[in-house]
Structure 1
Amino acid sequence: MLETRDILPFPGGDNSSDTVVGDAHLNLTTLQYWNYTLFSNGTLSNGSWCYLTFQPWAADVVLDNGTFVNGTKCWSPINPIGPRAGIGIGFAVLYGIALCLTIVALNKHGRLYLEVTKRFYPIGRRWQWYWACWTCATALVSLFTVMDVDRYYLPELPIVLTSFFWFLMQLGAVAIVWEAVRHWGSWMERQFIDPDPFALRDDDTRSKIEFYLPLIYYLFWWLNFFLVIPRTWTPIEHQRYPEQIVREAEPAATGVRFKAAAFMLVVCWVLTVFSLRTSIKYYRPRNRGIINRFIGFVRFTPMRFKLLIPLAAVIPAFQAFVAWHFASSPLNVKGHNAAIYAGGYAPALLILYIQIVFGYFNQNEDKELQRQRQERNRQLNQEMGVSQKPTWWARVNGEIVNPNESMRDRLVRNVRELQGNRPRAATDLEDGAVPGADGIGITTTQDGVEMSPLPSPTYQQQQQQRQRESSGTNSFAGSPAPPYVGKSDRRRHERTMQAASGMLFPQSSEALTLAARRRAELTMDGPPAQTLPPPPYPLQDRRSSMQTDGSATGSTNQPPQQIRSMLDV
C-alpha cells in the first residue's frame, strides 16, 4: 500500500478515445462510461472494481462491457513477504510444536487408571489441555494468514482473518490459566476426601463458591466473545490510504466495544486469582492476620501459577492498550511488529510451554492417588505392626495359589497350614502316592499339595449311601461321607461345607453318636419307641375346667343371640 492516493488524469493516446495505462492502450470512452478513476498508487478503480495499472499486472485491453482482459485486481498477493510475515512464520512453527506436545500431555493426564466418580469427572482435568489445543489452532490460523497481510497490494480479507483468530487465541489463553487454577483446587479437594469422604461438606460456603465461580467466570468470558467477534469487520479492511485509515479503520479498531471487551478479560483475571485464593484458604494451612495471609498465599501458590498468572495479566492489559493505541494494534496493517508479537503472541506461547513443561514432570492424578493410598496403607501397617512380605516370599515358601485348584484343594491346604503341616514335594513320594495314617492313599498334585483321593463312586456305593440317608444314619457317625453324585448344586455345596467343617472342627465319638441319634429321631415318621404318649384328659376334668370359666359356661349354656338389626352387630 502506498502512502498517498491522489487522483490523476488519464494520459493521452492515439486519439481522443484512447489512453495509455501501463503501456497498454485502453478505450477511454469505456473507462469514463463505467466511472473508472486513475489514482497515484497505481490503481484504476470505480468504487466497486479495482485493477493494477503497472506491469506486469496491467490489463491488455478493456471491453465495451467494462471487462478487463488479463487484468489483476488490487487485492492480490503480489508483494514479497515482509518483516511481519517472517516473524509470524517463526511463531507459527513454535505454536505447531506446542500443539504436538499438548496432545502428548493430554494423552498422559487425561488417561484414567481409577474408576470414575460422580464428584470428579475426567473432563475436568482435560479442559486445560482442550483450551491449549484451541489456542494453538487459532494461533496457527492467525499467523499463517498474516503472511498475506504483507503480500496483498491493498489490504482486504487477510487482515480481518488474522485479527479475528488473534482474539480467539487470546480467549483460549486466558481460559487455559483459569482451568488450570480451577482444576488444581479440584485436585486438592480430591486428595482431601480420598482418605475420608466425609472430611468436607457439600453445602458449605466452599462448595457454593466452587459451584458458582465458574459460571460467573464464563459469563464474563462470553461477554468478551460477543463484544469482539460478532461485529462488522469491513471497516478494518479500509486501510488503503491515510485518509481512509483515519476516517474508517482507526475508529472501528478503537471503538467502545473493544475497550469494554478488554475490561471483561480483566474481570476474568481477577476471578482466576480469587479462585486460587479460595483453594489455598480451604485446602492449605490457614494463616492469621492480613500480612500472614498474604505471605501464605504467596508461599502455597504452586510455581506453575506464579508464572502463569502474571502472563495471563498481560493479555487483558495488551487488549486494553491496543484499544486506545491503534499504531501497536494487530488490526493495523502497518502496526509495530515488536509490540504486536511481544504483547499479542508471546504471552500465550509462554503459557502453553509452561503448561507443557509442568505437565511433563507432573504425574497422572490417578497414579498419584494410587501412590498416596499405598503410602497410607504402609503407614497403617507399620503402626499395627504388620510387615508386608515381598512378592517373592510366596514363591520361595511354596505358597503360590494355583488358580485352577478346586475348593476342596484350597480347604485341605488351609487345614494343613493351620495344623502346621507343610506339604511335601512330589519328588519325595513314590509314584505320587503315600499311605496315610488311616490307610487311605494320599496323592500329591503337581503343585506339591497333598490331598485325599476322590474316586468315582460305584453303583453299589451309591445304593449304600441312599440306604444310609433313608435309614437316618450319616457320615458324621464316624465314617467319611462319600461325595455327592446328584445334580443339585445346593446339596453339593452343603456336602462340601459339612466335609470342611468336619475337617476343621473334629468332634469326639460321643458327640458324633449323639448327633447321629438326634438326626435319626428328627427324620422318623412318628415319635420314638421309648417316648410315651401324653396322658389323656378325662371328660370330667374338661367340664370342670370349663365351668370355672364364667365366659365359657355362658357361651355354652345360653342360646345363641338373635340379631334383629344392624345396630346389634
Structure 2
Amino acid sequence: MTLLHPRNVLPFPPGSNGTDTIISGYHLNLTALGEWNYTLYSNGTLSNGSWCLLTFEPWAPTYLFPNGTFLNTTWCWSPVDPIGTRGIVAIAFAVLFGLAIVLSLVTLNKHGSLHLPATKRFYPIGRRWQWYWGFWVCATAIVSLLTSIDVDRYYLPELPVILTSFFWYLMQWGAMAVVWEAVRHWGSWMERQLVDPDPFALRQDDRRALFELVIPLFFYLFLWLNFFMIIPRNWTPIQHQRYPEQTLLEAAPTATDARFKAGAFLLLVSWVVILVSLRHSIKHYCPRNRGFINRATGLVRFTPLRFKLLIPLAAAVVAFQALVAFRFDYSPLCVDGNLAAIFAGGYLPSLLILYVQIAFGFLNPNEDLELKRQRRVRNQEFDRQMGIVHKPSWWRRVNGEVLDPNASMRERLAANARELSGAKPTPADGGYGPEVPSDAAGPVEMTPVPPPPPPAVSRPYTGRSETLHEDRAVAMAASLASSEAVAAREAAAERARRHHELMQDGLDLPPPAYSEAVGTRQGDATRTRSEQSEGGRSTDQPQTQVRSMLDV
C-alpha cells in the first residue's frame, strides 16, 4: 500500500555506524529496516506497505528487534490529533439530532395513539411511518456526525471517513422517505375526512384508488434504486487521501463516478413522484378549479404550509447530492473539503425537515380526536336543521332524571315508565320532586305489591296439663296441614293460569284424538256435556283405530 508519493521519501538519518540510524533521538537497526523494506516519509511515518508507524514524539518507536518488531509503536491510523473544526460542528449537529429523537417520540405518541376503532381502509401504521423514518434519519445522522470527529483526529484518513460517508447517504435516503410519507399520509387523511360522513362517497376500485395503490411502489422503487447505486460498493478508495496526488487519482474519481451521478438522478425522480402525489391529493380531495391558471393557483393555495417548507428542503437534499457527485471538494467524502458547504448543504436540510415535522406535529391535533370533533359538529348541525334542541347537562339532574348507579331494577323500570307517561319523580323513587303519599295510586304495572303477612306462630305451652299439650300439638299440626293445602291450591292455580297463557299464545297441548270428535258426532252417551266443554277425554269410550283415509 503506497502511503505517500515516491518523491516524498526521505533517506534514513546517519547513526553511530553503518548499521545504525537515529529517528527522533532513538537508535534503530538500519539492517533490520532494510530487511523488512521500511521506508521513511516526509510526513513523519515509517512504512513498508503493510505496516505504518508514527516516527515523531511522543509516539516514536524506541527500539527495533532483528525480527522487525518495534517497541512503543503507534499506528498511522490513530486519533492522535485534537478535535478540529469539523468535529466541533459535528458535535453540535449531533446534539440537535438527538433532541429531535426525543421530540419525535412525543409527537409519535400524540399522533400514533388510537381514539377510534381501527379500520382496514385506514391502517394506524400509515400515520406513524413518517415518524419511524424520522428516527432513521436521526440515528444515521448521529452516527455519521460522531464518526466525523475522528476524521480530523486520525493522522492518516482511514475507516472514519468511510463510515461518515456511508451513514450520510443513508441519512439523505431517509429524509426523502420522511417527506414522502408525510405527503402520502396527508392525502389519506383527506380521504378519511370525506368518507367518514358517507362511506360510499369514494369508491375503492376506481382509477383514483388504483393510482394511490401504485404510486408508493414507484416512489420506493426509485428510492431503493438510489440505495443500490450508492451503498453496495467498494468504499476503500475513499480513504486514500493521504497526499494530494493520491486524492486526485483514487478518492476523487471514486466519489464522482457514474454510479453516484445515477443515484442523484434516481433521487430526483423520487422527488418528482412526491410532487405528483401531492397534486393527485389536491385534485381529488380539495375544491376543483377550472382552467390552467386557476388549477395552478389552486395547487399552491391548497398545499399545506408544512409541505411548502418540506418540499423545497427535499429539493435541497437532492440538489446537494447531485452537486457532490460532480464536485468532490464539497462532498462529506472529502477529508479536507469545504466544511461550510458540507454542513449547510449536507446536514442542515435533513435537520430542518425533522424540525418542521416536529413543529407541525405539536400544532396539529390527533386525527381520531379531530374526526370525533367533526362528528359532533355535524350532529349539532343536523339537530339544528331538524329543530332539535338538547337540554344542558344539568337539566336532567335538576329534574330528577338521573338515577342512582346503585338503583334496583324496579327503580329503573319505574324511571322508564315515568319517562313514557310524563310523570315527575318523587323522593320515594329517588328523585327530587315533591313528596307523594305512599298510598297514592300509580301506574298499574308499577303498583307496589304489599308483602305477605308473617305466618302466625303459636307460642309453645309450658304448663303441666297433658290435655293442653295435646290440644296445642293438634292445632299446630292442623295449621301446618292447612298451610300446605293452601300452598298446593296456589300452585295448582298458578299452573292453570300458566296453561291458559300458553293456550292464548298458540302453544297449546297436542289436539285431542280423533275418537273424541267421532264420539261427539255420534252422540256418545258415555261422554258428558261437561267433559265436552272442558275438552276432556272419556275413559269409557275405546279408542278408534284409523284403518284408511276414508275413516278420516
- In which range does the TM-score fall when normalised by the shorter chain? 0.7 to 0.9
AA of the residue aligned to 2:361 = G
Look up the SS of the partner of 1:19 in the other structure.
strand
Give the match for residue 38 of structure 1: 40
Is contact 2:441–2:447 with CA below 8 Å preserved after alignment?
Answer: no
What is the aligned counterpart of 2:11 among 9, 12, 21?
A: 9
Matches within 5 A, 1:551-566: none
Instruction: Identify if the C-alpha distance between structure 1 residues 470 and 158 changes in structure 2 by more than 3 Å, giving closer, same or farther.
Output: closer
Tell me, in whole angstroms, the C-alpha distance in 2 between the residues paired with 1:248 and 1:134.
31
Say if 2:456 is the partner of 1:452. Answer: no
Structure 1 residues 116-125 or 410-419, which shifts more? 410-419
8 Å Cα contact 2:111-2:128 kept in structure 1:
yes
Deviation at 1:290, TM superposition (A): 1.2
Secondary structure of 1:434 counterpart: coil
More moved, 399-408 vs 186-195: 399-408
Is the 1:4–1:40 Cα contact (8 Å) retained in structure 2? no
Does 1:174 pair with 2:199? no
In structure 1, the partner of 2:494 is 469
2:329 maps to 327
Matching residue's letter, 2:150: D
Cα deviation, residue 436, structure 1: 3.8
CA contact (8 A) 1:224 1:265 kept: yes
Q: CA deviation at 1:388?
A: 2.0
Cα deviation, residue 533, structure 1:
7.6
Q: CA deviation at 1:522?
A: 5.9
User: How far is 1:463 from its partner?
Assistant: 3.7
The alignment covers a number of residue pairs equal to 488
Shift in alpha-carbon separation, 1:231–1:533, aligned structure 2, 3 A: same
Residue 435, structure 1, aligned to residue 439, structure 2: yes
- Contact preservation (8 Å) 2:238, 2:333: yes
CA distance in 1, matches of 2:73, 2:227: 40
Choose from 222, 230, 233 the match for 1:231: 233
Whole-angstrom distance in 2 between the partners of 1:327 and 1:517: 102
Cα contact 2:4–2:41 (8 A) shared by 1:
no
Give the distance between the partners of 2:508 and 2:165, measured in 1 at CA: 95
Alignment of 1:74-93 (within 5 A): 74-93=76-95
Task: Look up the match of 1:374.
Answer: 376
After superposition, give the CA deviation of every residue in 1:198-217 in whole Å (9 maximum; x if it has no partner).
Answer: 00011111101100000111
**Counterpart Cα distance in 2 of 1:363 and 1:54:** 62
Counterpart mapping for 1:414-563 below 5 A: 414-426=416-428, 434-437=438-441, 452-453=448-449, 455=451, 463-472=488-497, 535=521
What are the ranges of 5 or more consecutive residues in structure 1 without an aligned counterpart? 443-449, 477-514, 538-555, 557-569
Alpha carbons 1:44, 1:53 under 8 Å: kept: yes
Q: Note the C-alpha offset of 1:2.
A: 9.7
> Deviations 1:313-336 (Å, cap 9, x if unpaired)?
011111111100001010000000
2:359 to 352, 357, 361: 357
| Paired amino acid for 1:381 | D
In the TM superposition, what whole-angstrom CA distance separates every residue of 1:389-447 from its partner, at most 9, and x where no partner exists?
22222222111133443443322222233333222214999x99822449x9x9xxxxx
Amino acid at match of 1:124: G
The 8 Å contact of residues 502 and 508 in structure 2, kept in 1 or not, is answered as: no
**Which SS does the other structure have where 1:153 is aligned?**
coil
* 1:121-520 equivalent positions in 2, closer than 5 A: 121-426=123-428, 434-437=438-441, 452-453=448-449, 455=451, 463-472=488-497
Contact 1:213 1:275 in 2 (8 A): yes
Between the aligned partners of 2:269 and 2:450, the Cα distance in structure 1 is 80
C-alpha offsets along residues 318-377 of structure 1, whole Å, 9 cap, x if unaligned? Answer: 111110000101000000011101110010011111101000010000100110111111
Distance 1:338 1:219, change over 3 A: same
CA distance in 2, matches of 1:218, 1:379: 43
Cα-to-partner distance string for 1:289-315 (whole Å, 9 max, x where unaligned): 111110010000000000000000011
1:144 deviation in Å? 0.8
Runs of 4+ in 1 over 4 A off after TM superposition: 1-5, 426-429, 453-462, 515-527, 531-537
Q: Is the 8 A contact 1:5 1:241 kept in 2?
A: no
Farther-moved stretch of structure 1 (465-474 vs 301-310): 465-474
C-alpha contact (below 8 Å) 1:4/1:241 kept by paired residues: no
RMSD: 3.2
Moved more, 56-65 or 155-164: 56-65
Q: Structure 1 residue 132: deviation in Å?
A: 0.6
Rounded to whole Å, the distance in 1 between the matches of 2:318 and 2:100 is 22
How far, CA to CA, are the matches of 2:176 and 2:142 in structure 1?
A: 17
Match of 1:70 in 2: 72
Letter in 1 for 2:448: S
Cα distance change, pair 44–435 in 1 and its aligned pair in 2 (3 A): same
Q: Which amino acid aligns with 2:353?
A: I
- In 1, the alpha carbon distance for the partners of 2:13 and 2:48 equals 17
Tell whether the 8 Å contact from 2:426 to 2:436 is kept in structure 1 after alignment.
no
TM-score normalised according to structure 2 size: 0.82
Corresponding residue number in structure 1 for 2:55: 53
Which of 106-115 and 85-94 deviates more? Answer: 85-94
CA distance in 2, matches of 1:87, 1:278: 41
Give the counterpart letter for 1:19 in structure 2: T
**TM-score if structure 1 supplies the norm length?**
0.80
* CA–CA distance in structure 2, aligned partners of residues 432 and 393 of structure 1: 22
Residues 81, 147 of structure 1: 8 Å contact kept: yes
Kept after mapping to 1: 8 A contact 2:5/2:245:
no
Question: For each residue in 1:459-490, what CA deviation from the matched residue of structure 2 results, as whole angstroms up to 9, or x when unmatched?
Answer: 8675444222344489x9xxxxxxxxxxxxxx
